[in-house]
């Protein structure tokens, strides 16, 4: 029999109201049976849940889970095979899915027209997967919390590291400032372009190549210790190639070879 349903009903009368809805007993207003749950969700339903559920959105934005084979699984190499594209579940994850995959509760997907009283037939409503924290396995919730703590630790330690470790752009700009170079000075001495000078002076986060750093060091007539610091600050290493060794040789033994 069709029933009336007020979409803007109070939260404790709704089947699901997004974040924290696991504490609500709305489903029992309609029936007394346990709600059905699922570990799988398609991307369209996942997007809808991301838009309407702040708690699920927070988890997604944190990077704590990855989407693999229809499930949102803890971002951990025990569960995710990242060597494949698209991502695949590991054999361990498939046999321990409860400890690693988010659980979604199947709720009736009522039309959303706030404040409008209208007639609906619940039998014709589709079940939509909703994320509710309380319906998830404690091991999954612990995994989410551990990931959040790891991210916080990383951010703090990186902040401390960055405060005492100059970047390539900071070092390069200081050296250019010491020379009092303008654009023409830079291009004449390094044979690099004016665009490269502009990127450095405006702190454009553009990763320099080993060739660029070598030409900059030759133009600046830096010593070997400074050249090493610039290379390290750019996150580069000396690879086992003839070209890389040529740059190393120039910086180490021929710094005045312009």
Beta-strand relationship, 127-131 and 104-108: antiparallel
The alpha-helical segments, DSSP class H, found in the chain are 43-52, 54-62, 91-95, 138-164, 168-179, 183-190, 194-201, 210-220, 224-233, 242-253
Coil vs helix vs strand at 165 = coil
Is the pLDDT assigned to residue 255 strictly greater than 90?
no
Tokens describing residue 203? 């702190």
pLDDT value of residue 56: 94
pLDDT value of residue 33: 65
Percentage of the chain modeled with pLDDT above 70 = 78
- 133 neighbors 141 (Cβ within 8 angstroms): yes
All structural domains of the chain, each given as residue ranges with its CATH number in brackets, are 3-146 (no CATH), 168-253 (1.10.260)
pLDDT value of residue 70: 94
- Write 125-128 long-range contacts (CB < 8 A, 24+): 127/36, 128/45, 128/48, 128/49
Question: For all residues of the chain together, what is the average pLDDT?
Answer: 82
Is the pLDDT assigned to residue 231 strictly greater than 80?
yes
What are φ and ψ of residue 73, in 5° steps? -120, 145
pLDDT-derived band of residue 111, with 50, 70 and 90 as boundaries?
low
The secondary element (H helix, E strand) that includes residue 132 is: none
pLDDT value of residue 155: 84
Is the pLDDT assigned to residue 235 strictly greater than 80?
yes
Burial class (CB in 10 A: 0-12, 13-18, 19+), 197: buried
Q: Residues 9-60: pLDDT tens digits?
A: 333 334 444 444 444 444 444 445 678 999 999 999 999 999 999 999 999 9
Q: Residues 170-193: pLDDT tens digits?
A: 999 999 999 999 999 999 999 999
Average the pLDDT over each of 59-63, 96-100, 250-254 and give the range with the smallest value.
250-254
What CA–CA distance (Å, rounded) separates 56 from 60?
6
């Amino acid at each position: 029999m069709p029933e009336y349903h007020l979409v803007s009903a109070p939260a404790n009368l709704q089947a699901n109201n997004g974040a924290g809805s696991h504490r609500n007993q709305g489903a029992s207003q309609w029936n007394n049976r346990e709600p059905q749950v699922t570990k799988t969700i398609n991307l369209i339903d996942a997007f809808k849940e991301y838009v309407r559920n702040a708690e699920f959105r927070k988890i997604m934005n944190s990077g704590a889970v990855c989407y693999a084979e229809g499930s949102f699984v803890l971002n951990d190499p025990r569960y995710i095979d990242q060597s494949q594209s698209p991502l695949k579940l590991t054999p361990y994850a498939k046999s321990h899915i409860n400890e690693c995959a988010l659980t979604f509760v199947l709720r009736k997907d009522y039309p959303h027209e706030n404040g409008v009283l209208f007639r609906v037939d619940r039998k014709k409503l589709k079940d939509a997967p909703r994320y509710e924290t309380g319906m998830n396995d404690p091991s999954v919730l612990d995994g989410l919390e551990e990931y959040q703590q790891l991210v916080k630790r990383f951010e703090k330690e990186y902040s401390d590291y960055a405060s005492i470790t100059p970047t390539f752009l900071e070092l390069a700009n200081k050296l250019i400032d010491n020379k009092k170079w303008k654009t023409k000075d830079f291009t004449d001495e390094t044979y690099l372009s004016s665009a490269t000078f502009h990127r450095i002076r405006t702190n454009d986060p553009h990763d320099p190549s080993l060739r660029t750093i070598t030409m900059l060091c030759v133009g600046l007539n830096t010593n070997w210790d400074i050249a090493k610091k610039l290379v390290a600050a750019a996150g580069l290493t000396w690879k086992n190639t003839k070209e890389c060794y040529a740059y190393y040789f120039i910086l180490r033994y021929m710094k005045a070879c312009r």
